[in-house]
Amino acid sequence: MNIIYVDNNATTRVDPAVMEAMMPFYTVKYGNPSSMHAFGGNVAEDIRHAREQLAALINASPQEIIFTSCGTESDSTAIWATISSLPDKKHIITSRVEHPAVKNLYEHLAKKGYKITTVPVDRQGRLDLDYFHDHLTDDTALISIMWANNETGVIFPMDVISTAARERGIVLHTDAVQAIGKIPVDVQKNPVDLLSLSGHKIHAPKGVGALYVRKGTKFTPFLIGGHQENGRRGGTENVAAIVGLGKAAMLASENLGDTQAAVARLRDRLEQGLLSRVQNAMVNGDTDSRLPNTTSISFEYIEGESILLMMNEFGICASSGSACTSGSLEPSHVLRAMGIPYTAAHGSIRFSLSHYNTEEEMDFIIEHMPPIIDRLRQLSPFWRQGKPVETMLTGAECPI
Ligand code: PLP
């Protein structure tokens, strides 16, 4: 069966050019960059080159990049490094829609006595900036707010957030795992202090990430061990993956303009096609400030998990905004924070595209989704005779 992969916020296909750049480091250039002999030592040059390529993508200097194993490690490192460097400050401000890589760590820190303020979002997933400004205090150790949301694609105003952080002298961390490679991210224009990113979201392999640490930012290593990464992260470097991340970063900066605009056109074609063919469907999130590749669509009165299973029969791979794997069948914390009604949040599907997608694939999805939604609604207790049950039970249409 042909696979139609529209789950690129979960992970991406490794670019063939990235794969090619990595291969020698498994076969002929397998030395340890810390070795004294030239066979190993020369590999350090390749890491240096990858560091330059990655730094260029975000307009940083290479010395400000630390390679890690994933976005989660970058997030944890940024957060632990900051609070260990500022032991007297016990307040952290974050948002209600962070990825679990950040959210669950703050829940853990709350149990350890930290005061965690979570800034709400509105129905469009936009950050409540008044609330944000009002809750910055002299005790705030860290502002930690994602650049773009993984479920809805909504982009947060990093210019406003970084200005506030600068004015108050508060350390600013951003989880830019979803923003990188999709929109311009420039750490000079938007002066964040710490920025997390992950290789497998930008067509590099899984198991590599990076943390940007602005020069002068107080930093305590999270992984303490060898002297690698200038003493800031112990552990033998994942050389092949680091080289792959460097190459992917270079390709991502080449692809930012026209390629991302083309991805946005595909996304819009899909979105409009589905909204015009399926009743009681709506887009979640601010469509004016959104990643070019992402759309979260709620198909009301049915279950996202069932939709995914039926899409799977056609080889269409996407994600849902409910988490029935947890056994709770609760919609995601992101959609709940936005105040999306349960009947809509439960039936939400995230489509996340890449430049590997085609118009034909979008048309295939547009053709196959409406019958899937129809079939599931026929089984739904909330849907009767082509309408939601609640409509039938209110006003003039009430059958009783
Ligand atoms: N932050 C965001 C916004 C993400 O979307 C993800 C992964 O989905 C992560 C962090 C974690 O990244 P990794 O899978 O590399 O640990």
Mean pLDDT over 363-378 rounds to 97
To test the pocket of ligand 1, the residue of 177, 180, 245 to mutate (highest count of ligand atoms within 8 Å of its CB) is 177
pLDDT at 82: 97
- Between 3.40.1030.10, 3.40.50.970, 3.40.640.10, 3.40.30.10, what CATH number should domain 16-255 receive? 3.40.640.10
On whether the CB atoms of residues 347 and 302 are closer than 8 A, the answer is yes
Q: Cα dist. 19→12, 46, 189, 221, 356 in Å? A: 13, 15, 32, 30, 16
The residue with tokens 């469009």 is 124
Where in the sequence of the chain do the CATH 3.40.640.10 domains occur? 16-255
CB atoms within 10 A of CB 328: 9
Phi (first) and psi of residue 30, to 5 degrees:
-90, 15
pLDDT at 393 over 80: no
Atom 14 of ligand 1, nearest CA residue: 71
Q: Encode pLDDT of 152-180 as tens digits.
A: 999 999 999 999 999 999 999 999 999 99
pLDDT band at 391 (very low <50, low <70, confident <90, very high): low
Distance CA 399, CA 378 (A): 19
Question: What pLDDT sits at residue 399?
Answer: 36
Distance from C-alpha of 246 to C-alpha of 323, rounded to nearest angstrom: 34
Token output for 336? 């709940």
DSSP letters of 358-372?
A: -HHHHHHHHHHHHHH
pLDDT digits (tens, 9 = 90+) for 260-318: 999 999 999 999 999 999 999 999 999 999 999 999 999 999 999 999 999 999 999 99
Q: Give the residue carrying structure tokens 């198991």.
A: 207
The Cα 316–Cα 335 span in angstroms is 23
| Mean pLDDT of all residues belonging to the chain | 94
> What is the rounded CA–CA span in Å between residue 260 and residue 216?
34
Task: Report the separation in Å between the CA atom of 398 and the middle of ligand 1, taken as the mean of its atom positions.
Answer: 47
What ligand 1 atom has the least distance to the C-alpha of 73?
16
Distance of alpha carbon 172 from alpha carbon 93, whole angstroms: 10
Q: H-helix or E-strand containing 345?
A: helix 342-345
123 Cα–ligand 1 center, Å: 23
Report the distance separating Cα 212 and Cα 208, nearest Å. 14
368 and 316 Cβ atoms separated by less than 8 Å: yes
Distance 181 CA to ligand 1 centre (A): 14
Ligand 1 atom closest to residue 11's alpha carbon, by position in its atom list = 8
Contact 53, 65 (CB under 8 A): no
Query: What is the average pLDDT across 99-105?
Result: 97
pLDDT tens profile 318-360: 999 765 544 556 889 999 999 999 999 999 999 999 999 999 9
140: burial class by Cβ within 10 Å (0-12, 13-18, 19+)? buried
Residue closest by Cα to atom 10 of ligand 1: 71
What are the φ/ψ torsions at residue 143 (nearest 5 degrees)?
Answer: -105, 130
> What is residue 1's predicted lDDT score, i.e. its pLDDT?
80
Q: Give the Å distances, CA to CA, from 273 to 277, 278, 367.
A: 6, 9, 9
pLDDT value, residue 390: 67
CATH node for 258-388: 3.90.1150.10
pLDDT of residue 322: 63
Protein residues whose CB sits closer than 6 Å to any atom of ligand 1: 70-72, 99, 101, 146, 150, 175, 177-178, 198, 200, 209
Say which residues have a Cβ less than 8 Å from residue 62's Cβ, sequence separation at least 6. 48, 51, 52, 54, 55
Give pTM, 2 decimals: 0.95
Determine what percent of the chain falls in helix, strand and coil, rounding each to the nearest 5: 45, 15, 40
pLDDT tens-digit series, residues 58-72: 999 999 999 999 999
Query: pLDDT tens digits for 135-147?
Result: 999 999 999 999 9
Say how many Å lie between the CA of residue 223 and the centre of ligand 1. Answer: 19
Residue 31 has pLDDT above 80, yes or no: yes
CATH 3.90.1150.10 residue spans of the chain: 258-388
Distance (Å) from CA 367 to ligand 1 centroid: 31
Task: Determine which one of 70, 317, 324, 398 is catalytic.
Answer: 324
pLDDT computed for residue 337 by the predictor: 97
What confidence tier does 117 reach under pLDDT thresholds 50, 70, 90?
very high
Phi, psi values for residue 150, rounded to 5°: -70, -25
pLDDT of residue 331: 87
Q: Is 398 annotated in the active site?
A: no
Cα 205 to Cα 18, 75, 193, 352, distances in angstroms: 9, 18, 26, 18
- Assign 321 to helix, strand or coil: coil
Nearest CA to ligand 1 atom 5: 150
Residue 50: per-residue pLDDT: 98
Pocket test for ligand 1, best of 7, 8, 12, 72 (most atoms within 8 A of CB): 72
Q: Which of 244, 189, 195 is nearest to 15 (CA)?
A: 244
Q: What pLDDT score was predicted for residue 385?
A: 85
Task: Give pLDDT, residue 287.
Answer: 97
pLDDT(78) > 80: yes
Atom number of ligand 1 nearest to Cα 10:
8
Distance (angstroms) between ligand 1 centre and the Cα of 319 equals 14
Q: Confidence band (pLDDT; 50, 70, 90) for 392?
A: very low
pLDDT at res. 382: 87
Distance CA 43, CA 32 (A): 7
